[in-house]
Amino acid sequence: MTEALTLDRIVDDAAFLSYEHQLHLADVADQLGEHSWQVDLDARVLDLAGQGTLRTTAHLLGSTSEDAGSWLWGWANPSGFSPQVTEVSAQVAEFGRGHGVRELADQQHPLGPDTAARLTDAAKVITGHWTSYSGEAGPGTRVYFLVDAPELALPAPSTPRCLRTIAESLDTGMVHDHRRALASYARMRGLATTNGHDGTPLRLHLPDGEITVTFDHLTRIADLSAHAGPA
């Protein structure tokens, strides 16, 4: 029987690849030095400007308000943004309605510590837009975008970066089903795997090495180790 799709499972599917994309965004932004952001929603453009400019295509995903204590999806924003700029958030809502995931279908949700991060990660795996950016839009208000640019495409997977991605993602507390999250990451990153069942370690094979993952009796990742060298 197929398991019902829940927000937790969708977030697990997204967690590691989402985190790696955010690491890459940080690397690209570091090259700009100190920088600011500007967005033109009519043109669907978000710029990071410093020692140079990174120009991205912007998709309005949602916003948070501390005063209202809620997350509001972009498609439901009363400011009346164009369907083009809110198209991605509407795609998430359609997916949520089709799969009975209310957190993705309802207009807004109570704001918790991880609400924005969880809904953003879910939107990434649903839409295929993997890089997010957020910025303050006023006192107590933050706006969230999914952004695209050629510079934001991930480089080929490497052992050090994948090891860091998995370890730091686990530290965020966002991942519930470690085995599911790892399997999804390996599949989407095009990594071959061996073993990983009946208590045996799982091995991820990368172009420059191998990562060995050991699970505990609750199928949580208990240990990570890496071996450098050609696959």
Q: What's the DSSP call for residue 85?
A: T
Q: CATH 3.30.310 occupies which residues in the chain?
A: 159-228
Query: What does the pLDDT read at residue 80?
Result: 86
pTM of the complete model: 0.95
> Which percentage of the chain shows pLDDT scores above 70?
97
What CATH class has 159-228?
alpha beta
- 66 Cβ neighbours under 8 A, 6+ residues apart: 111, 140, 141
Kindly indicate the confidence band of residue 196, based on its pLDDT and cuts at 50, 70 and 90. low
Contact call for residues 14 and 177 (beta carbons, < 8 A):
no
Is it the case that residue 1 has pLDDT exceeding 50?
A: no
Kindly indicate the confidence band of residue 228, based on its pLDDT and cuts at 50, 70 and 90. confident
> What does the block give as tokens for 28?
């690209």
Query: What does the pLDDT read at residue 2?
Result: 59
Q: Smallest Cα–Cα separation from 166: which of 30, 10, 18, 28?
A: 18
Q: Smallest Cα–Cα separation from 189: which of 133, 125, 146?
A: 125
Query: What does the pLDDT read at residue 11?
Result: 98
138 vs 25: which has the higher pLDDT = 25
